[in-house]
Amino acid sequence: MNGVLNINKPSGMTSHDVVDRIRRAAKIKQVGHTGTLDPMATGVLPICVGKATKIQQFLIAQDKEYDVEMELGVITDSQDRTGEVIEERPVENMTREQIDRALDQYRGELWQTPPMISAKHHKGKRLYELARQGVEVKRDPCKIYIHKLELQDVRMPFVRFSVSCSKGTYIRTLCHDIGETLGAGAVMSALARVRCGRFHIDNAIPLDELRTPEDVAGRLYDLNQALDSMPSVTVGTEGKTSLFCGRALAGGAITRLNGDFRSGAFVRVTGRDGSLIGVGEALMASDQLDALAGNLRVIKPVKVFHPASS
């Protein structure tokens, strides 16, 4: 009972609610989610079961894709439709062209200030806990990346768009910020996650289909499958020995490169038989490996899966 489930989370449940349901179905305590999905949101929520909890951090780090509905003319304390309305503004004369121009400003690398109603920590407390007490604290902006932002439909006051983004992106805050750029204000009124790394909504499992350990066991992706959207390198015996001893991987130990990566990215390390040996952090970009191979250390181990524990 080790692997990852691609769950289609229903609206109205927290990510922790889903984890509890899987624990009861699988009859196993070692279950964890891969990043909070708002209760009002639906869609892809990868759930790690058993030893797959060792790869949670890598699944959390993967890019995500959403279908979003934004309501213009409303501002709430939570930045979505579940919050208390703070202000309402007129939007009658807003055009599709104006909205398109506003979206243009939210592509690429951005700095985003997390909302108060969020799971981020401040001095040992979750921000949403402080918000419930009526306390607002200064939040440092976080760097995010919007890979794709496409306008789908405009039926005032509702706007639908799709977004592909890096980890740590708050879609509620994106809606709020776009609304401020338009001068009308906005809240997130609906959200569906359609992709998280390699997991897609097309093959996500309805939660009600998982009632027994057999139901869960039959729908698990193994650790290597769960991470197969991540670039990888193949190594032989020398590379395996380095990783198992906790040493960084030398360029000369790599026998095959599968996919491009930048410095600082997570990279799978596999054996010649395709087995997952570990995950490391790239110390240089993949296009530098040929010129700088040999004894130079190129991948630092982050998580190693020893044969006895994998």
What is the set of active-site residues? 38
DSSP string, 36-63: ---TT-EEEEEEEEGGGGGGHHHHHTS-
Q: Residue 161's Cα: distance from chain center in Å?
A: 18
Of 178, 187, 157, 182, the residue nearest 75 (C-alpha): 187
Distance CA 166, CA 135 (A): 29
Q: Any bridge partners for residue 74, and if so which?
A: 88
Name the DSSP class of 157: T
Length of the chain: 310
Cα angle, residue 242 at apex, residues 58 and 283 outer, rounded to 5°:
50
175 class by beta-carbon count within 10 Å (0-12 exposed, 13-18 middle, 19+ buried): buried
- Do the beta carbons of residue 52 and residue 226 sit within 8 Å? yes
